[in-house]
Amino acid sequence: MITDGSTHAGVHTALATARPIRARLAWTVSVFGLLAAATCVLAPLVGSTPISLRRALDPSLPFASNVDAQILFIARLPRVLAGALVGASLASSGVVFQALLRNPLATPFTLGVSAGASLGAMLVIILGGTIAVGPWSPVPAASLAGAAVAAAIVYALANGPRRAMSTTVLLLAGVTLNAFFSALILFVQYLADFAEVYRATRWLMGDLDVGGFAPILGALPLLVGSAVIFAVLPSSLNLMGVDPDSASSRGVDVAATQRWAFISASLATSAAVALAGPIGFVGIVVPHLVRLLVGVDHRIVLPASALFGATFLVACDLVARTLLAPVEMPVGVVTAIIGGPFFLWLLVREG
């Protein structure tokens, strides 16, 4: 039975498979990179308070009295930078988790890392913890610790000596941990004081206003570390995405690739959630959109998703802080409002 496959896989544009990969990679990185750069340059210029770029960059005005400069450098720039880093991390870890679980519907939060992060944050907010770790203030530090615990549990359950990780066990462990930690989160909130509950709920909505460059610098080593690992995974992920046994017979160390994929994606997700709270939908909307545009080769999808993730989150944050000015919407709400219908549309399309 010959089927017409031309309409099946979606829009395969000029960026897609007809051309050799080197050209496609160069093209894709250029286009998405330009888009990301443009967004990151323009975003700090727009906000609830109109500022003048000329005034902000005027060296003759003392900084202390230059409100435009203060807003640009102290309020907006860190926020855009945080948005770009968090967006890139969530999108790329989404791609890696999807490859690891062999399922395009996986998200960076599927395996419980975000639930662990949230529990850590909740405990500090509600029990009033005050231990800061270097540039990490108490809540992000606890959030990171919670994420690490969750990831460690899932890793231990799914890993066997010298054999490949079972994706079934991974998924079950992650989903169970999600449910368990979510229940704990609700319980802790129940025990809390009203004001604490409000602060906790607010944290769970995500917030890119991280309060300066220090928290970003704190998260940077983790994000860079995971990016370095991301750089070497894609071709192995491709082979494993077709057939894990064939991948093994083609020279891929499947067990090692799975471990590194899990570690790097968990690291990126933990750092992103600890920094800005759990911001949903970036990790699934961006990879899907990117695949629709450039095909499914991970060597292109991963860098393109990172770049587009940065663009997407910075743009969503821009909407969040200007749409209902002077009131700010939580950025997680904006990503959900855009992501939710998009996802439904995808499902309708596939079905």
Partner 1 sequence: MAARARRLVPWNRISWPALRLGVAVLMGLAAVAAGCGEAAPPPDKARRIVSLVPAVTEMLFAIGAGPQIVGVSSYDHFPPEVEALPKVGALLDPDTERILSLRPDLVVVYGSQTDVDAHFKKAGIRTFNYRHGANGAILATLDTITALGAATGHDAQAREVVTRVTTGLDTVRTRVAGLDRPRTLLVMGRQPGTLQGVYAAGGVGFLHEMLGVAGGANVFDDVQRESVQPSTETLLTRAPDAVLELHATAPAGNYPGGELAVWDKLASIPAVRNRRVYSLVGDFVVVAGPRLAEGAEAMARALHPEAFK
Partner 2 sequence: MPLAASTYLVAHELSYAYPYRGRARSVPAVSGISLAVARGSFTGLLGPNGCGKTTLLKLMAGVLSPAAGSVTLEGRVLADLPRRVAARHVAVVPQDTHPAFDYTALEIVLMGRHPHLRAMQLEGPGDLAIAHESLEATGTLHLAHRPFTSLSGGERQRVVIASALAQQPDLLLLDEPTASLDLRYQLEVAALLRRLSREHDVTMVMATHDLNLAASMCDSLALIRNGRLLGHGPTNEVLTADTVRQLYDVDADVRFHAEAGHLTVTPVRRAG
Site residues, partner 2 (CB under 8 A): 1-6, 8-10, 12, 17-18, 20-22, 25, 99, 102-104, 163, 231-232, 235, 238-239, 241-243, 245-246, 248-253, 291, 295-297, 299
Angle, CA 63 vertex, CA 60 and CA 67 arms, to 5°: 110
Residue 329 sits at φ, ψ, to 5 deg, of -85, 150
Between the alpha carbon of residue 330 and those of residues 59, 136, 142, 205, 336, the distances in Å are 34, 22, 21, 6, 10
- As measured in angstroms, the least distance from the Cβ of 307 to partner 2 is 18
Q: Which residues lie near partner 1 (CB under 8 A)?
A: 47-49, 63-67, 70-71, 74-76, 78-79, 124-125, 128-132, 137-139, 190, 193-195, 197-199, 202-203, 207, 209-212, 215, 321, 326, 328
- As measured in angstroms, the least distance from the Cβ of 128 to partner 1 is 7
The rounded distance, in Å, linking the Cα atoms of 205 and 280 is 9
Contacted by 328, from partner 1, partner 2, none: CB < 5 to 8 Å by type: partner 1
- As measured in angstroms, the least distance from the Cβ of 145 to partner 1 is 15
- 3-class SS at 191? coil
Q: Which is nearer to partner 2, 21 or 67 (CB)?
A: 21
Q: Which is nearer to partner 1, 179 or 325 (CB)?
A: 325
Contacted by 190, from partner 1, partner 2, none: CB < 5 to 8 Å by type: partner 1
- As measured in angstroms, the least distance from the Cβ of 18 to partner 2 is 6
- 3-class SS at 160? strand
Q: Which is nearer to partner 2, 47 or 241 (CB)?
A: 241
- As measured in angstroms, the least distance from the Cβ of 287 to partner 2 is 10
Bridge partner residues of 133 (DSSP): 136
- As measured in angstroms, the least distance from the Cβ of 211 to partner 1 is 4
312 contact partners, CB below 8 Å, separation of at least 6: 87, 91, 282, 285, 286, 335
Contacted by 131, from partner 2, partner 1, none: CB < 5 to 8 Å by type: partner 1
The rounded distance, in Å, linking the Cα atoms of 106 and 167 is 12
The rounded distance, in Å, linking the Cα atoms of 174 and 137 is 27
Pick the closest to residue 241 from 230, 257, 220 (CA basis): 257
Contacted by 211, from partner 2, partner 1, none: CB < 5 to 8 Å by type: partner 1
Amino acid in position 21 = I
142 contact partners, CB below 8 Å, separation of at least 6: 120, 121, 123, 124, 129, 131
The rounded distance, in Å, linking the Cα atoms of 266 and 269 is 5
Contacted by 20, from partner 2, partner 1, none: CB < 5 to 8 Å by type: partner 2
Reported as half-sphere exposure (CB side, CA atoms, 13 A), residue 18 has a value of 6
Contacted by 156, from partner 2, partner 1, none: CB < 5 to 8 Å by type: none
Give the CA-trace dihedral at 2, 288, 168, 114, to 10 degrees: -170
Q: Which is nearer to partner 2, 76 or 291 (CB)?
A: 291
Contacted by 209, from partner 1, partner 2, none: CB < 5 to 8 Å by type: partner 1
Contacted by 1, from partner 1, partner 2, none: CB < 5 to 8 Å by type: partner 2
Q: Which is nearer to partner 2, 251 or 351 (CB)?
A: 251
